[in-house]
Amino acid sequence: MISRKEMTEFVKFPFKLYKNNPFWVPPMINGQLDTFDKNVNPVFEQASGQFFVAIKNNEIVGRIAVMINSYDLKENIKKVRFGWFDFIDDLEVSAALLEKAKEIGIANNLEFMEGPMGFSNLDEVGVLTKGFDHIGTMSSWYNYPYYSEHLKQLGFQVGTEFVENKFSFSNVNPQKLERGSEIVKQRYGFKALNFTDIKDLMPYVDEMFDVFNASYASLPSFVPVSQAQKEYFRKKYLPFINPHFIQFVTDKDGKLIAFAITMPSFSVALQKAQGKLFPFGWYHLLKAKNKAKHILFYLIGTLPKHHNQGVPSIMFYEYYKIFKKIGVEQCYRTPELESNTAVKALWSGFGQETYKKRCTFIKKL
């Protein structure tokens, strides 16, 4: 698929597949098109992408994106990625789509295929395997239960496993957070940075992505954020985030050492918008932004040399004060590695509940 019209058909296929499904959250159509446009998204400076649809009886019945990231090859990870993988419950369809990924992998002398995943860690990841009766989020894919069964029948093995957790804001112990925050600040000279205007935050964006690159470097399928991508994200996403929902921590010399990004849950608003800002999509999104009762912890990172120094307690206490003021009720987290014991320990005092599970699937070529 090459033309804008064809790519629009690619993007819109899930709207048909999940029509009337109460748990699927549609993306913004133009935003998805920009993601797949090599003239817009700088990820294509280090990755290639090919996009396919399956057609049966003159109707689109499936889609897949097949990607090769040069960073994987640089790290001697001979992998072809596949993602944005959706299909009707027909094994012939899913097999035909995955065959395209196999062909591209073999043609490029790669050794295995893995997915669903995106171009990098900032994209969605994994097939949902638990939690089909929970509404999706803007940062993760929703799918029908038959997806994983198709992959297993086609000879794929479970790759990386992820969990998604949530907790009630009423579980938070503010005294404990305040005490921990003050101890860490006094012991190490760390300082919380709060913002009321997004313009004041912008000078720190490059540093924030540097911290992201350092803190996520050891994770599977990691791809560092390039300078061009920093500029892309700065212009595309940050102006629309409430500055109160971004927290930074600096060391005694003013150097950024940690960050956290949270967002209002836009799930219901995106369902109402149905992929379009106009005529009323903007209203639903704006209402969700300004009257947030459910919050998504999108990204959190700390420079590795400051691990085990309690840095997150500073950001958590700042968030508590903000969320208490606006009446937040529920907090959700994006997919995290099921094997990540450090993350489990970080959130252990919040009374969390694992309500979704997902995984990637791998197959040798």
In order, the DSSP letters of 144-165 are: -THHHHHHHHTT-EEEEEEEEE
Res 233: pLDDT: 86
Confidence of residue 187 (pLDDT cuts 50, 70, 90): very high
In sequence order, the 6+-apart residues with CB closer than 8 A to the CB of 271 are: 24, 25, 26
Question: Which of 51-55, 162-166, 201-205 bottoms out in mean pLDDT, i.e. has the lowest?
Answer: 201-205
Question: Is the preceding peptide bond at 116 cis, omega within 30 degrees of 0?
Answer: yes
Res 186: pLDDT: 95
Report the distance separating Cα 111 and Cα 19, nearest Å: 37
pLDDT digits (tens, 9 = 90+) for 350-364: 999 999 999 999 999
Res 1: pLDDT: 60
Q: Is the pLDDT of residue 325 over 90?
A: yes
- The angle subtended at Cα 14 by Cα 110 and Cα 228, nearest 5°, is 55
Report the distance separating Cα 166 and Cα 96, nearest Å: 37
Contact status, residue 106 vs residue 79, Cβ threshold 8 Å: no
Contact status, residue 252 vs residue 223, Cβ threshold 8 Å: no
Confidence of residue 112 (pLDDT cuts 50, 70, 90): very high
Q: Is the pLDDT of residue 221 over 80?
A: no
Res 343: pLDDT: 84
Burial (0-12, 13-18, 19+ Cβ within 10 Å), 291? exposed
Tokens found for residue 176: 């404990």
Confidence of residue 222 (pLDDT cuts 50, 70, 90): confident
What DSSP element (H or E) covers 175? helix 174-188
What DSSP element (H or E) covers 353? strand 353-364
Q: What amino acid occupies position 353? A: E
What's the distance, Cα to Cα, between the start and end of the chain in Å?
24
- CATH value of 167-355 in 3.20.190.10, 3.60.15.10, 3.20.20.100, 3.40.630.30: 3.40.630.30
Report the distance separating Cα 50 and Cα 318, nearest Å: 43
Name the CATH superfamily housing domain 4-164: Gcn5-related N-acetyltransferase (GNAT) (3.40.630.30)
Tokens found for residue 334: 């994006």
Res 242: pLDDT: 86
Phi/psi for 167 (5° steps) reads -150, 150
Report the distance separating Cα 60 and Cα 53, nearest Å: 6
Calculate mean pLDDT across residues 254-258. 96
Question: Is the preceding peptide bond at 27 cis, omega within 30 degrees of 0?
Answer: no
Res 144: pLDDT: 98
CATH 3.40.630.30 domain extents, the chain: 4-164, 167-355
